[in-house]
Chain A
Amino acid sequence: MSTTALTPRPVRRRAARSPSGALGLGVATLWLSIIVLLPLAAVVAKGLDGGTGTFWTAITTKQSLAALRFTVLVSLLTAVVNSFFGTMIAWVLVRDRFRGKRIINALIDLPFALPTIVAGIVLLSLYGKGSPVGISVSYTQSAVLLAFLFVTLPFVIRAVQPVLIELDREMEQAAISLGASNLTVFRRIVLPNLVPAILSGAALAFARAIGEFGSVVLISGNIPLHTQVSSVYIFNLIESDAPISAAAVATVLMLVSLVVLLAIRGFGRWGARYERVLERDGR
């Protein structure tokens, strides 16, 4: 090997060779800031406009606290109920065989595709005043639960389905060969593998329910201290020209959403923990 004597010289580092480049990234970030980040910052700033005292007063009024407590409780209940039924529906869609399964599977996403106000109308048509089956939940707290269950239906199903499809059937067969009953296999083998997906689906459902507006606004009656959720309360504050109070309550609602968002990321990492260990061993 013959080499001409050359002193090594530093090479100009080229910018990230992505087709979008630094300019694209800059413009996209600016766009995100103008549309999303700046307005959200404005909410927090407005909420604190009158000082922390005013902020505290605004969020601790009787109506505000009642709405927040009710929203969180019904959202939690929604997450629990849809975790249970969502897991069951996912199991039926993956492991069972019956006519029309593909159509049912496609229709699961309908609550995502349907405008929320239409979801409200849909529920009213069957469970509202003048219900053809004689069940009316209009203006009751159950109406809010019903609306939340409807709009968050797909989250747990769509989170659990892929995990169930990928789940190694040999694990279950091994457990059965070792004498485990069906219930034991589900409890000890299947469920532990589904838990991260169920939790992250439930967290998404919870986050969605916390901020839900369109589907509850018609059916709940928005009775203060009874069926009024936080988003409707904020809407009323905006309509009655109380932007500082509206922003204060909105800040609290955003905070709850952010905590849930962080929790979802946590579940994602936790769910991948076995895979990562395997990867490390493979090297």
Chain B
Amino acid sequence: MTVRRPWRLGLRFVALGYLALLLLIPVGVVFYRTFEHGFGAVWDSVSTPAAVSAFWLTIEVTAIAVPLNTIFGIVMALALARGRFPGKGLLNAAIDLPFAISPIVIGLSLVLVYGTTGWFGQDLANAGIHVIFSVPGIVLATIFVSLPFVVREVTPVLREVGNEQEQAAATLGANGWQTFWRITLPAIRWGVAYGVVLSVARAIGEFGAVSVVSGRIAGETQTLTLLVDNRYGNFDIAGAYSAATLLALIALVTLLAMTVIRPRREENE
């Protein structure tokens, strides 16, 4: 379809205009408003004890949730792409559930199982383990919401690569582990990397599910996203903007990583 120039320019104007009004200008305004009063003010606002503690808690939660989800994701992807077993279709559908369910419902569901009045809460409390309103709850919520990313990124790559290289390695004497480390993992590494980047972004940015299970104790169970909400609620608008900008910068780094990894992931054949 060859579209005449005025039409093309018109379409471009409307499409980019929509993008600008909805996405680009608002993001730009946040950056502008954050740095309006100078870099020093921003630095002071993101280096308060509460902010530093929120930052490290976010990193800690991400550092636990993402590796666990990566291992789970690779094992599950291998099973879905290579295995034959009853109930595979059902399992495949169940993996998408965290994408389809409201973060608030996810938070609620964890409270109902691991909270003090929940199914296992009392037993866990007797054993001295507190999940809800404590860090383990935040970790659980983060694992829940970021669970599908690695599976969803790696499964198609595994299908695309096929199992011929793995069979060749087997005929050459490599055992299961050797084949996995030397052949399968290198072949899917960019798919894994892409899934990890998406998981990290989601883990750092999760708000709804975490806000239900955390209890929001400043300096203890407050993550960066909760800090933004908390500051805004306390009419510390500049402080909220600073923390939001910090998170937005992390998001931009994520985008950059996605842009770098995407073409490599698609390189397979």
Give me the interface of A with B, judged by CB distance under 8 Å: 16-21, 24-25, 27-29, 31-32, 35-40, 42-43, 45-46, 85, 88-89, 91-92, 95-96, 98, 104, 106-118, 121-123, 125-127, 132, 146, 149-150, 153, 172, 176, 182, 185-186, 189-190, 207, 210-214, 217-218, 230-232, 234-235, 238, 243, 246-247, 250, 253-254, 257-258, 260-261, 265
Closest 8 pairs (CB-CB, A-B): A211-B102, A115-B205, A39-B109, A213-B208, A214-B207, A113-B251, A18-B82, A42-B112
B157: CB under 8 A from chain A? Answer: no
A-B contact count (CB 8 A): 274
Cβ–Cβ contact B147 & A109, under 8 A? no
Cβ–Cβ contact A40 & B12, under 8 A? no
- Taken together as a complex, chains A and B put the C-alpha atoms of A265 and B117 apart, in Å, by 37
Q: For B14, B75, B198, which residue has the most chain A Cβ atoms within 10 angstroms? A: B75
- Taken together as a complex, chains A and B put the C-alpha atoms of A125 and B35 apart, in Å, by 13
Given the complex, which residues of B lie within 8 Å of A92, measured CB to CB?
A: 11-12, 15-16
Beyond the given A32-B72, A36-B144, please list 14 additional residue pairs across the A-B interface where CB-CB is below 8 A: A42-B118, A42-B119, A106-B259, A114-B247, A121-B232, A132-B29, A172-B1, A182-B1, A190-B1, A210-B102, A214-B208, A247-B112, A250-B108, A253-B102
Given the complex, which residues of B lie within 8 Å of A190, measured CB to CB?
A: 1
CB contact between B94 and one of A24, A32, A125, A260 (< 8 Å): that residue: A32
Cβ–Cβ contact B201 & A112, under 8 A? yes
Cβ–Cβ contact A104 & B19, under 8 A? yes
Given the complex, which residues of B lie within 8 Å of A88, measured CB to CB?
A: 11, 14-15, 18
Cβ–Cβ contact A40 & B259, under 8 A? no
Given the complex, which residues of A lie within 8 Å of B59, measured CB to CB?
A: none
- Taken together as a complex, chains A and B put the C-alpha atoms of A38 and B110 apart, in Å, by 9
Given the complex, which residues of B lie within 8 Å of A91, measured CB to CB?
A: 11, 15
Interface window among B43-51, B122-130, B176-184:
B176-184
A240 CB to closest chain B CB, in angstroms?
13
Interface on chain B toward A: helix, strand, loop, or mixed SS? helix
- Taken together as a complex, chains A and B put the C-alpha atoms of A32 and B258 apart, in Å, by 26
**Size of the chain B interface, CB-CB below 8 angstroms:** 94
Given the complex, which residues of A lie within 8 Å of B30, measured CB to CB?
A: 118, 121-122, 125
B73 CB to closest chain A CB, in angstroms?
9
Q: A28-B76, A42-B109, A235-B104 are in contact. Are A218 and B18 (CB under 8 A)?
A: no
A269 CB to closest chain B CB, in angstroms?
12
Cβ–Cβ contact A121 & B228, under 8 A? yes
Cβ–Cβ contact A125 & B29, under 8 A? yes
Given the complex, which residues of A lie within 8 Å of B83, measured CB to CB?
A: 16, 18, 20, 25
Cβ–Cβ contact A125 & B78, under 8 A? no
B106 CB to closest chain A CB, in angstroms?
8
Q: A28-B72, A104-B19 are in contact. Are A38 and B29 (CB under 8 A)?
A: no
CB contact between A117 and one of B4, B91, B228 (< 8 Å): that residue: B228
Q: For B144, B205, B247, B259, which residue has the most chain A Cβ atoms within 10 angstroms? A: B205
Cβ–Cβ contact B75 & A28, under 8 A? yes
CB contact between B11 and one of A31, A96, A217 (< 8 Å): that residue: A96
CB contact between B205 and one of A24, A114, A185, A254 (< 8 Å): that residue: A114
CB contact between A16 and one of B75, B84, B177 (< 8 Å): that residue: B84
Q: A116-B205, A118-B205 are in contact. Are A182 and B247 (CB under 8 A)?
A: no
Q: A18-B83, A107-B23 are in contact. Are A250 and B105 (CB under 8 A)?
A: yes
Interface on chain A toward B: helix, strand, loop, or mixed SS? helix
CB contact between B208 and one of A20, A24, A116, A254 (< 8 Å): that residue: A116
Q: A118-B244, A234-B104 are in contact. Are A19 and B166 (CB under 8 A)?
A: yes
Cβ–Cβ contact A24 & B75, under 8 A? yes
Cβ–Cβ contact B24 & A261, under 8 A? no
Given the complex, which residues of A lie within 8 Å of B229, measured CB to CB?
A: 117, 217-218
Cβ–Cβ contact B26 & A122, under 8 A? yes
Nearest opposing residue in chain A for B81, CB measure: A18
Given the complex, which residues of B lie within 8 Å of A254, measured CB to CB?
A: 101-102, 105
Given the complex, which residues of A lie within 8 Å of B168, measured CB to CB?
A: none
- Taken together as a complex, chains A and B put the C-alpha atoms of A35 and B137 apart, in Å, by 11
- Taken together as a complex, chains A and B put the C-alpha atoms of A13 and B8 apart, in Å, by 62
B172: CB under 8 A from chain A? Answer: no
Q: What are 9 inter-chain pairs, A to B, with CB distance below 8 A?
A: A35-B143, A92-B11, A114-B205, A118-B248, A122-B248, A213-B104, A214-B103, A214-B207, A238-B212
- Taken together as a complex, chains A and B put the C-alpha atoms of A172 and B180 apart, in Å, by 46
Given the complex, which residues of B lie within 8 Å of A234, measured CB to CB?
A: 102, 104-105, 108
A25 CB to closest chain B CB, in angstroms?
4
Q: A207-B100, A234-B108 are in contact. Are A29 and B91 (CB under 8 A)?
A: yes
A73 CB to closest chain B CB, in angstroms?
17
CB contact between A25 and one of B79, B95, B102 (< 8 Å): that residue: B79
- Taken together as a complex, chains A and B put the C-alpha atoms of A7 and B81 apart, in Å, by 36
Given the complex, which residues of A lie within 8 Å of B179, measured CB to CB?
A: 19
A101 CB to closest chain B CB, in angstroms?
10
Q: A42-B109, A211-B102, A250-B105 are in contact. Are A35 and B147 (CB under 8 A)?
A: yes
